[in-house]
Chains A and B, each alone.
Chain A
Amino acid sequence: MRTGVKTAPVIDISVDRLAKSYGDGPPVLADLSFKVRQGEAVALVGANGTGKSTLLRCLMGLTLPSAGSLAVLGIDPAFAGRRELRALRAQTGLVSQKHNLVPRLSVLTNVIHGILGQRGGPTVWSQTFATDAIRMRAMAALGKVGLADLADRRADRLSGGQSQRVAIARALMAGPRFLIADEPCASLDPSAEEDVMDLFFRLVREEGVTVVFTSHNISHALKYGDRVLGLARGRLQLDAAAIDLGTADLRGLYD
């Protein structure tokens, strides 16, 4: 149960009339406006091709919007300089459907890579060269996802569920203020999916991290999100507290 906010809420993400198109094609995102409060978990739902992933890429500064503005932790990724963008990304974590671990490296090295945004260089390229403090921090992150005993296993020898847990540990390693989760469990079997989602949201709520996540699973959006944003054809069709919604309210977005 989350506590109510007594003072004016801090806004972590502010999106104002955002639009995105590729070339002369139809807009992928159009006239999108919303705000996300600090510590809030927002579920982004909608059918395939409605612009969810494009919106996430805009929030990370990996894609530039065509019009409108956005501010993530007070910085507009579209106008940020390289240093500012790196500073923003150092406070941001990404957990994606593909897990995106480096296959031939150890689990521990993959987790240590989570702090590359805060400190780069050869001492964090591999656990072999990392300081004891960094190794212990990475082991603590692995401990939180229950995989400390697999620290020296190669990442490509993990199951799908284990792999996603390592990706979560890597994302949490830097102590991010904002996390993006793009279909985090889409590639997992149903039992692993529930375990990983429970673990992920328990950890992010413990740490007070702001989360924007996408999911095709309507029940996940309602269970784990504080708020649900529904996209259809690149436009915001729904913005409501999860507690006020039922599955029938979201099904219309997929018609």
Chain B
Amino acid sequence: MTDLPARLERPSALAFVVYALAIALLVWSFDGAGWSAEKLLRAPPALADFWSRAWPPSTQNLPRLGWKMVETLQIALAGAALGAVLAVPVAILAARGLIAGRVVNTLVRTVLGFLRAVPDIAWALVFVVAVGLGPFAGMLAIMVDTLGFCGRFFADDMEAVDKGPAEALTATGAGKIDVVACATIPGAMPSFISTSLYAVEKAVRSSTILGLVGAGGIGIELKVGFDLFDYPTALTVILMIAVVVIGVEQLGVWARNRIIGEQR
């Protein structure tokens, strides 16, 4: 009868050190994040108190909140659309092996990385300073965030597209821009649309909180609700955000399935 292999592999000394360091890092992070079991135990009664004061959600300001939600969606749609359109030429420069050389590819990818690294709420603060309070600052923040997100993924999509049609057109003497326009972009189009739909979902989620810094949308109503202890209105806003975000996500899933189904 042969011996069964051990269920667990004995870690090497290096692996043991890595595990120990990882655990130490986690403990350090919890400490830095102010982990407090005492506060956690005190939270449920406080939450129950908030809930008792918030329920039932207020329907008094529903028309005004509804219009604010419409404005939120407008910010998200306009910003995401503009960002996705601008992302196409930027992604062409970022994609390796299309038009630009490695230096330009790296430079553009670094800039896109920077656009993504700065949170959308920070972009909103910057644009509030630049163009003033209101939805236009929010739209610009969403646009920049979408540009960073779509620019990177569009470039990856174009790099991954089947090279056959592009090579066939290159063999006929077509220029690089023509090859990109006629073979690479149409080949990557399903992925572009799928990424753009995800960008819209992301933009809707983001745009609901931009109002906290004065960049338009329903976020300001949430802030005012909490500031004035008008918890029923704040709860209404939270529920409206949840319904709209879930609705947009479901719409995105449906549209993506349609597009990917269409592709084959």
Contacts and interface: CB of A to CB of B under 8 A. Distances in A.
A90 B167 contact: no
A213 to B, nearest CB: 14
B182 A102 contact: yes
Contacts of B17: none
Interface stretch (B26-34, B104-112, B148-156, B173-181): B173-181
A116 B171 contact: no
A101 B167 CA distance: 11
Given A125-B181, A125-B182, A102 B165 contact: yes
Given A62-B167, A100-B164, A121 B178 contact: yes
B187 interface: yes
B173 A90 contact: yes
Contacts of B203: none
Contact of B182 (A89, A113, A180): A113
A93 interface: yes
Contact of B187 (A85, A103, A121): A103
A96 B169 CA distance: 12
Contacts of B190: 104
B262 to A, nearest CB: 9
Interface residues of B, number: 23
Interface in A71-91: 85-91
A122 B177 CA distance: 10
Contacts of B170: 62, 89
Interface string B36-50: 000000000000000
A176 to B, nearest CB: 8
B61 interface: no
Given A103-B187, A116-B178, A96 B172 contact: no
Contact of B186 (A85, A102, A121): A102
A104 B186 CA distance: 7
B197 interface: no
B177 A120 contact: yes
A105 interface: yes
A116 B186 contact: no
B117 interface: no
Say what secondary structure dominates the interface of chain A: mixed
A211 B168 CA distance: 16
B189 interface: yes
A87 B173 contact: yes
Contacts of B164: 96, 98, 100
Contacts of A120: 174-175, 177-178
Given A104-B189, A105-B186, A116-B182, A96 B168 contact: yes
A92 interface: yes
B132 to A, nearest CB: 38
Nearest to A118: B173
Contacts of A62: 167, 170-171
Interface in A107-142: 113-118, 120-122, 124-125
Nearest to B174: A116
B175 A116 contact: yes
A36 interface: no
A253 B183 CA distance: 37
Nearest to A90: B173
Contacts of B168: 94, 96, 100, 167, 170
Interface in B176-222: 177-179, 181-183, 186-187, 189-190
Given A102-B187, A116-B182, 6 more contacts: A90-B173, A94-B171, A103-B263, A124-B178, A125-B181, A174-B172
> Which 6 A/B pairs are nearest by Cβ-Cβ distance?
A117-B173, A89-B173, A116-B174, A90-B173, A100-B168, A100-B164
29 contacts: A62-B170, A89-B174, A91-B173, A92-B173, A93-B172, A94-B172, A96-B164, A100-B165, A100-B167, A100-B168, A103-B187, A104-B190, A104-B263, A105-B182, A105-B186, A113-B169, A113-B174, A116-B172, A116-B173, A116-B179, A116-B182, A117-B172, A117-B174, A120-B174, A121-B178, A125-B181, A167-B168, A171-B172, A180-B171
